[in-house]
């Protein structure tokens, strides 16, 4: 299972790198598409890995991630749903703030996911050492 998590983490990192490198070529549309794909991928990954995060002591970090995601998604959706109460500039301003926050949330998830993988690798190594001594 650890190998699958490593592939997942490094795949996300590669997608994030491609997303950032595409800015000079494709400008915002390429970046936005990459951010959307990365966000969807991370949501699925976080759903699958939340029990592992909680079990290994990263409960605070993963709950923070989910809180950030819910807040960010509400920043994107609510102004469009409540369009009558918002001006166009306020909707676009809120949207751009949410896009900026999504970049940081994606980086935050990659950081905590990488730490989780390091912890699981260390545990596997220690389990192997203790089993070989007996």
Q: Give pLDDT tens digits along the chain (134 positions).
A: 889 999 999 999 999 999 989 888 888 888 889 999 999 999 999 999 999 999 999 999 999 999 999 999 999 888 778 777 777 788 888 888 999 999 999 999 999 999 999 999 998 887 676 766 65
80: number of CA atoms within 13 Å, CB side?
A: 9
pTM above 0.85, yes or no: yes
> Contact at 8 Å (CB) between 106 and 17?
no
Strand, helix or coil at 99? Answer: helix
Within 8 A by CB and 6+ apart from 83, the residues are 91
73 assigned to some structural domain: yes
Expressed as residue numbers, the domain containing 98 is 2-126
How many other β-carbons are positioned within 10 Å of the β-carbon of residue 73? 15
Q: Which of 102, 134, 91 is nearest to 33 (CA)?
A: 102
Count of domains forming the chain: 1
133 assigned to some structural domain: no
């Amino acid at each position: 299972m650890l190998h699958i998590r490593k592939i997942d983490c490094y795949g996300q990192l590669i997608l994030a790198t491609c997303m950032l490198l595409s800015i000079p070529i494709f400008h915002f549309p390429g970046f936005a598409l990459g951010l959307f794909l990365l966000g969807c991928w991370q949501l699925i990954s976080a759903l699958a890995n939340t029990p592992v995060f909680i079990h290994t002591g990263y409960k605070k970090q993963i709950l923070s991630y989910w809180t950030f995601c819910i807040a960010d998604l509400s920043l994107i959706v609510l102004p469009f749903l409540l369009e009558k109460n918002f001006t166009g500039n306020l909707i676009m301003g809120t949207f751009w703030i949410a896009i900026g926050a999504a970049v940081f949330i994606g980086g935050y998830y990659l950081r905590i996911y990488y730490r989780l993988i390091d912890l699981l690798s260390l545990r596997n190594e220690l389990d192997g050492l203790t089993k070989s001594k007996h």
